[in-house]
Amino acid sequence: MDGRGECAVEFGRGDYEGVSGTVGGITRERFRRGPNPPSAPAAWEDSQPDTANAHEEGGFVLRAADGTLLVERWPGGSRKRIVVPPFHAGRRNGLLIAATFHTHPNSSSRFRQEPSRVDVEAVRHNPNLASAEYEGEFVISRGLLYLIRPDGSVESIGDTSILLELERGERP
């Protein structure tokens, strides 16, 4: 380990414990603006980046039977950790989990901006996310938006402020 802080996402009781991931290709446009409030820009803002109160925020991107995408936010986490509510067999409250996401709001050199090994392993080895419809976990950091794919590969999607359409003053 390089000494930088790794975040830890924990799944609720009865589920895989580890770090969670976020949203994939089919939802890029929706992820940016949000299929319904609150969306990714709101999660970033709610995580209070670069403050003494910085903490991880995250959520599920769920697909209803009619194809509608919905966002269910998780309870706020701590500086390097978030607990994911229970889900089973790729579903949350009967809805298909299309993707997940969480923030990395601490941008000092003491903290990892890219997905940690724990983040990747939690997505890759979670049997409850082993669905063909699950696109992966988005990790929102100050500079870049990352996607952890179900196979454990990590892709840099692009500049967070551009993808989330943040104003210059809101730059993550």
Tell me how crowded residue 121 is: count the other CB atoms within 10 A of its CB.
16
Q: What is the reported pLDDT for 167?
A: 57
Which pLDDT tens digits describe the chain residue by residue (172 residues)? 233 334 444 333 222 223 233 333 334 444 444 444 446 778 888 889 888 899 999 999 888 898 888 888 899 888 888 888 999 999 999 999 999 999 998 776 777 788 989 899 999 999 999 888 898 999 998 888 899 999 999 998 888 877 777 654 444 4
Residues β-bridged to residue 92: 95
pTM check: above 0.85: no
Q: What is the reported pLDDT for 170?
A: 47
Distance CA 127, CA 16 (A): 8
Q: What is the reported pLDDT for 24?
A: 38
